[in-house]
C-alpha cells in the first residue's frame, strides 16, 4: 500500500511545496519586509499639491499679474545613465534654449558661481549615487517645449532608421513637467506697485517668494496654502478630494489707465525738466485709495534678473514710498494748517516781511532773497515766503510742543502703513528747548525734516477731505474661496477741523490764480502749492543748484476727488517747483478729469 | 446486538461520502461566492482608484490650461494691445482739449469690478462620497430594506 499511487504522492508533494512557498512568501512580505514595504508605499502616496498663486487686477478687473503655463525641463538620470546620452541632451538643450535662459543666470547667482551651465547641473546630478532626476532649467515656454519634443522624436527616429541603434545619440530621458509661473502681462506698467514673484531656483525650494510691493506685502494671501496629502489608493477611504487652497485674487485701487497716464507724464516730465528721477502719486482723499503711483526707474517684473542693474546702489524700488527727502515749500501747507487750526492767524492776518528771520544763531531768507513788507497770510502762501512761515511757526504758533504734536497728528512721525512692502520713514525729532525755535523756523517751510512722498500726499489729503486723514491703501478687495471681500476705508486721524481745511483750500486755490497759473486747469477749480527744497551735499551743506521740485494739488476744490503729488528729483532745466512740477500737475489733472469722468465745474454746479 | 443496533441506523457509506462531498462543494461554492464578491468589489475599487487618479491628473492639467487661457486673455487685453486694436479701428487717443463732457441722465458711472459674490451665510459642503461607499454591507442592506419597506407602505 505504501508504494501505491506514487504519482499522486508526487503531485500532492508538489502542491504542498507550492502552498508552503506561497505561505512563506506571504509570511515574508507581511512580517519580514512588511514595515519597509509599507513605508515605501506611504512615500509613494504622499504628494504635495501646490496652489495657484492669486491674480492681481486693477479696480476695473484688468489683469496685472497672472500665471503662465511653463515647463520645467529635467533629465531622468536612470535613463541617462543607461543610455549614455548626457552629451546629446546637453547639445540639444544648448541648441534650442542656449543663450537665452534666465534660469541659468538665477542658478548661477544662487549657487555662487558653482553652477553656470546645463553641463554643471547635469554633471552634479549624475554624480549623486542612485540619483533619479535633475532639473536642468525652468520657465520653458510651450513653443520651446514643442521644439524639444520634436527634436526628441527626430533623434529617436533617426536611430531607428539607421543600421545600428545608437542610444547615445538620442535624448531619451529628457522630461517636461508643466507648472505655472508668474506673468505680468502689462510689463513695466505699475511694476513699482506690484513688485514681482521669483521662481524657485534651489532644489529644496518649493515655492518662490514675493518681492517688493503688493507681491511681498500680500504674499501669504497670494500664495495660498500648499497641501501635503497622503493619497489613499482605496477610494472608500478618501472622504474628500484633497485640494490645495489657491491664493486670493487681489483687486487693487489702481486704475490701469490712470497709472499708464501717470507713467507717461512722468517720463515726459523727466525729459523736459532734466530730473534724474521722480514720482507722481494720485490719491482719492475721501477714501485714501491710491489711484495711481508712478515712479522711476521703470522695471519689467517678468525679467526680475535685471533688478540690480535697474536699481543700482540705494535706488528705491518705489520712490514714492521708499525714499525720504526734505519736501520744501509744499510743507508750508502743513504749517499754515496748524496756525489756522489754532486760530492764531486768518488769511487776512498780516506780518512784516523784512526779508530775513532769525535770532543770530540762525537766519532764514526768502527764496528770492527779497523783503516784501507787510503781507497777509494769503499773500505769504501765494509768494511762498519762508520768512513769513517761519514767523508764523515761531511767533504765532510759538509752542514747539503744540507744533510737533500737530505734525505727529499729520503722521510725520511714522510710516503711513500703506500696504506696499518697502515703505521707509524718517523719524520726526522733537527738538530740545535750546534749538526749538530754529528747528520750527526751518521745519515750517519743509527744510530740516524728511518725509516720503506718500507721507506728504497722505498728510495733505486731510486738507482736501474736511480735515480727515484717510489711510492710504492699494488693496480695494480680494476674492477668496469664491467670495469677494471689499476693504473699508480707514480714518487715521483728524488733525485739523473741516473749517480749517476749507479755509486753507480756498487760500491755496487763490494762490494758484495769483502766482502759479502753470498749474491751473481750464474748467476745473484746483488748489495747490509748489515746493522747492535745496539738497544737502555732505560736507558742503545746502546747495541751491540741486533741488527737489514738488507740487501738491487737489480738486475740484468744493468736492475733491483727487489729490496729486509730484516730486521731481534734481531737475536741471530749472530748480523751481513752480516751473517744472506745476505744469506736470496740470497735465496730470487734464487727463485725470477725463479718465475719472469728473465734470467741469460749470456742469457740476448746474447738476447740483 | 449492539453492533446490529448501530448498524441499523448507520448511513450507507456512499451516502456519507456523498454528504461530505456535497458539504465540501457547498463550502467551496460559498467561499467562491464570497471571494467573487470581494474580488469584484476589489476590482471595482481598484478601477475607481485608477479613474480618480486619472481624473485628478486631468483636473491638474485643465487647471494649467485654464490659467494659460486666462493669461492669454490678459495678454490680448493689455493696454498696449487694446490701444493698437483701437488704432486699427480708427480710434485716437483722447486729447483733453477736445473732450466734451456729456451729461447722460441716470448714468451714475462705472462700478468697480465685482469678481465674485459678497460674503453670505455659511454654506455647508455636502459630502462628496455617497454613504454606500463607506457603509458596511450590512448597513447598506438594512438601510435599503428600511427604505424599501417605507416606500412600500406609502407616505404617512
Helix B79-88 × helix A256-273 angle, to 10°: 90
Whether residue B68 lies within 8 A of chain A, CB to CB, comes out as yes
**pLDDT lower than 70: segments of chain B:** 1-9, 121-130, 132-133, 150-156
Residues A226 and A244: beta-carbon distance below 8 Å = yes
Distance from CA of A124 to the nearest CA of B (A): 31
Q: What is the DSSP string of A153-169?
A: HHHHHHHHHSSS--GGG
Q: What is the pLDDT of residue A243?
A: 78
Alpha helices in A311-452 (DSSP H): 319-322, 332-342, 377-383, 386-391, 400-409, 436-444
Where in A260-394 does DSSP place strands (E)?
A: 277-284, 289-295, 324-325, 350-353, 356-357, 364-365, 373-376
For residue A351, what are the CA distances in angstroms to A371, A386, A499? 12, 13, 23
Classify residue B99 by burial, with Cβ atoms within 10 Å: 0-12, 13-18, 19+: middle
Binary contact (A603, B79; C-beta < 8 A): no
Across the interface, whether the CB atoms of B71 and A66 are under 8 A apart is answered: yes
Q: What is the largest CA-CA distance in chain A?
A: 145
Any A CB within 8 A of B1 CB: no
| Chain A neighbors of B133, CB-CB under 8 A | 235-236
CB contact under 8 A, A68 and B116: no
Contacts of B52 in chain A (CB under 8 A): 235, 238
The reply to whether residue A66 touches residue B67, judged by beta carbons under 8 angstroms, is yes
Q: Could you give the C-alpha distances from A157 to A95, A172, A329, A419, A433, in angstroms and in order?
A: 19, 12, 76, 57, 89
With CB atoms and an 8 Å threshold, state whether A485 touches B118.
yes
User: For A421, which DSSP code?
Assistant: B
Q: What is the pLDDT of residue A117?
A: 83
User: What stretches in chain A show pLDDT beneath 50?
Assistant: 1-2
CB contact under 8 A, A599 and B128: no
**What does the pLDDT read at residue A331?**
96
| Interchain pair B45, A189: CB under 8 A | no
* Nearest 10 degrees: Cα torsion A314, A445, A553, A566: -20
Distance CA A510, CA A528 (A): 9
CA angle in degrees (0–180, nearest 5) for B55-B56-B60: 115
| Sign, CA torsion A428/A431/A435/A438 | positive
B55 close to A (CB below 8 A): no
Pairwise CB contact (< 8 Å): A239 & B114: no
Q: pTM of the predicted model, to two decimals? A: 0.83
> Is B45 in contact with A238 (Cβ distance < 8 A)?
no
pLDDT tens column, A6-15: 887 888 889 8
Q: In whole angstroms, what is the distance from residue A309 CA to residue A90 CA?
A: 30
pLDDT at A44: 60
Interchain CB distance below 8 Å, A603 and B103: yes
Cβ contacts (< 8 Å) between B104 and chain A: which residues?
A: none
Selected for mutation to probe chain A from B68, B117, B134 (highest A CB count within 10 Å) is B68
In this prediction, residue A605 carries a pLDDT of: 87
Residue with the three cell numbers 497777509? A376
In whole angstroms, give the CA distance from residue A35 to residue A41. Answer: 10
Chain A CA closest to residue B55: A241
| CA–CA gap between residue A184 and residue A256 (Å, rounded) | 13
Put simply, whether B124 touches A (Cβ < 8 Å) is: no
Residues of chain B positioned with their CB less than 8 A from the CB of A238: 52, 129
List Cβ neighbours of B116 (8 Å cut-off, separation of 6 or more). Answer: A479, A482, A483, A484
Residue B156: what pLDDT?
A: 37
Distance of alpha carbon A476 from the chain centroid: 15
Question: What's the confidence (pLDDT) of residue A535?
Answer: 87
CA distance A241 to A116: 42
- ∠ CA(A301), CA(A320), CA(A299), 5° rounding? 20
Whether A240 contacts A333, CB under 8 Å: no
CB pairs under 8 A between A and B: 114
Interface test with A, best of B43, B53, B76, B79 (most A CBs within 10 A): B79
Amino acid at each position: 500500500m505504501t508504494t501505491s499511487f506514487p504519482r499522486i504522492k508526487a503531485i500532492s508533494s508538489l502542491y504542498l511545496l507550492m502552498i508552503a512557498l506561497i505561505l512563506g512568501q506571504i509570511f515574508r512580505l507581511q512580517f519580514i519586509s512588511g514595515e519597509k514595504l509599507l513605508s515605501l508605499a506611504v512615500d509613494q502616496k504622499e504628494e504635495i499639491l501646490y496652489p495657484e498663486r492669486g491674480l492681481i487686477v486693477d479696480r476695473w478687473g484688468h489683469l496685472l499679474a497672472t500665471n503662465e503655463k511653463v515647463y520645467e525641463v529635467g533629465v531622468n538620470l536612470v535613463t541617462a545613465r543607461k543610455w549614455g546620452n548626457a552629451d546629446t541632451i546637453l547639445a540639444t538643450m544648448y541648441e534650442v534654449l542656449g543663450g537665452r535662459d534666465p534660469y541659468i543666470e538665477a542658478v548661477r547667482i544662487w549657487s555662487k558661481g558653482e553652477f553656470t551651465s546645463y553641463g554643471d547641473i547635469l554633471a552634479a546630478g549624475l554624480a549623486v549615487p542612485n540619483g533619479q532626476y535633475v532639473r536642468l532649467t525652468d520657465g520653458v515656454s510651450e513653443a520651446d517645449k514643442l521644439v524639444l519634443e520634436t527634436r526628441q522624436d527626430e533623434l529617436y527616429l533617426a536611430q531607428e532608421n539607421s543600421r545600428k541603434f545608437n542610444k547615445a545619440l538620442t535624448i531619451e530621458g529628457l522630461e517636461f513637467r508643466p507648472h505655472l509661473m508668474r506673468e505680468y502681462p502689462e510689463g513695466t506698467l505699475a511694476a513699482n506697485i506690484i513688485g514681482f514673484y521669483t521662481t524657485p531656483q534651489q532644489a529644496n525650494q518649493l515655492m518662490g517668494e514675493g518681492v517688493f510691493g503688493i507681491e511681498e506685502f500680500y504674499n501669504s494671501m497670494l500664495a495660498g496654502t500648499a497641501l501635503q496629502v497622503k493619497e489613499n489608493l482605496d477610494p472608500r477611504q478618501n472622504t474628500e478630494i484633497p485640494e490645495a487652497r489657491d491664493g486670493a485674487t487681489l483687486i487693487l485701487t489702481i486704475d490701469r489707465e490712470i497709472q499708464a497716464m501717470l507713467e507717461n507724464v512722468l517720463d515726459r516730465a523727466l525729459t523736459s525738466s532734466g530730473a534724474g528721477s521722480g514720482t507722481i502719486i494720485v490719491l482719492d482723499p475721501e477714501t485714501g485709495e491710491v489711484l495711481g503711483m508712478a515712479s522711476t526707474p521703470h522695471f519689467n517684473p517678468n525679467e526680475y534678473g535685471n533688478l540690480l542693474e535697474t536699481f543700482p546702489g540705494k535706488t528705491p524700488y518705489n520712490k514714492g514710498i521708499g525714499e525720504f527727502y526734505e519736501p520744501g515749500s509744499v510743507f508750508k501747507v502743513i504749517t499754515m494748517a496748524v496756525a489756522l487750526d489754532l486760530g492764531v492767524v486768518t488769511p487776512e492776518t498780516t506780518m512784516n516781511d523784512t526779508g530775513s528771520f532769525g535770532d543770530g544763531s540762525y537766519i532764514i531768507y526768502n527764496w528770492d532773497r527779497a523783503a516784501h513788507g507787510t503781507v497777509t497770510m494769503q499773500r505769504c502762501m501765494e509768494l511762498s515766503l519762508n520768512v513769513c512761515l517761519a514767523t508764523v511757526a515761531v511767533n504765532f504758533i510759538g509752542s514747539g510742543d503744540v507744533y510737533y504734536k500737530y505734525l505727529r497728528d499729520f503722521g510725520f512721525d511714522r510710516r503711513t502703513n500703506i500696504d506696499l512692502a518697502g515703505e521707509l520713514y524718517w523719524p520726526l525729532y522733537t527738538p530740545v528747548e535750546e534749538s526749538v525755535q530754529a528747528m520750527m523756523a526751518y521745519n515750517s517751510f519743509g527744510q530740516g525734516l524728511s518725509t516720503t512722498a506718500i507721507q506728504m500726499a497722505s498728510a495733505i489729503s486731510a486738507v482736501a477731505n474736511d480735515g480727515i486723514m484717510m489711510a492710504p491703501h492699494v488693496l480695494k478687495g480680494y476674492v477668496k474661496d469664491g467670495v469677494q471681500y471689499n476693504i473699508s476705508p480707514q480714518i487715521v486721524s483728524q488733525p485739523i477741523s473741516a473749517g480749517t481745511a476749507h479755509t486753507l483750500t480756498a487760500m491755496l486755490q487763490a494762490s494758484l490764480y495769483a502766482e502759479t497759473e502753470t498749474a491751473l486747469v481750464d474748467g476745473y477749480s484746483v488748489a495747490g502749492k509748489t515746493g522747492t527744497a535745496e539738497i544737502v551735499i555732505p560736507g558742503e551743506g545746502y546747495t541751491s543748484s540741486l533741488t527737489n521740485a514738488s507740487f501738491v494739488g487737489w480738486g475740484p476744490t468744493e468736492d475733491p476727488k483727487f489729490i496729486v503729488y509730484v516730486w521731481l528729483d534734481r531737475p536741471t532745466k530749472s530748480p523751481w517747483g513752480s516751473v517744472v512740477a506745476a505744469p506736470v500737475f496740470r497735465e496730470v489733472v487734464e487727463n485725470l478729469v477725463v479718465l475719472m469722468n469728473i465734470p467741469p465745474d460749470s456742469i457740476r454746479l448746474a447738476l447740483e | 446486538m449492539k453492533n446490529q443496533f448501530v448498524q441499523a441506523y448507520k448511513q450507507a457509506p456512499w451516502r456519507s461520502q456523498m454528504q461530505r462531498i456535497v458539504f465540501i462543494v457547498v463550502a467551496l461554492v460559498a467561499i467562491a461566492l464570497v471571494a467573487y464578491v470581494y474580488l469584484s468589489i476589489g476590482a471595482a475599487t481598484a478601477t475607481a482608484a485608477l479613474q480618480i487618479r486619472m481624473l485628478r491628473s486631468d483636473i491638474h492639467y485643465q487647471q494649467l490650461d485654464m490659467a494659460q487661457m486666462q493669461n492669454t486673455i490678459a495678454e490680448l487685453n493689455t493696454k498696449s494691445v487694446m490701444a493698437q486694436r483701437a488704432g486699427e479701428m480708427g480710434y485716437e487717443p483722447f486729447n483733453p482739449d477736445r473732450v466734451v463732457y456729456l451729461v447722460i441722465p441716470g448714468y451714475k458711472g462705472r462700478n468697480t469690478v465685482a469678481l465674485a459674490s459678497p460674503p453670505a451665510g455659511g454654506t455647508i459642503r455636502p459630502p462628496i462620497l455617497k454613504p454606500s461607499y463607506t457603509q458596511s454591507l450590512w448597513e447598506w442592506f438594512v438601510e435599503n430594506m428600511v427604505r424599501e419597506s417605507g416606500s412600500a407602505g406609502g407616505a404617512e
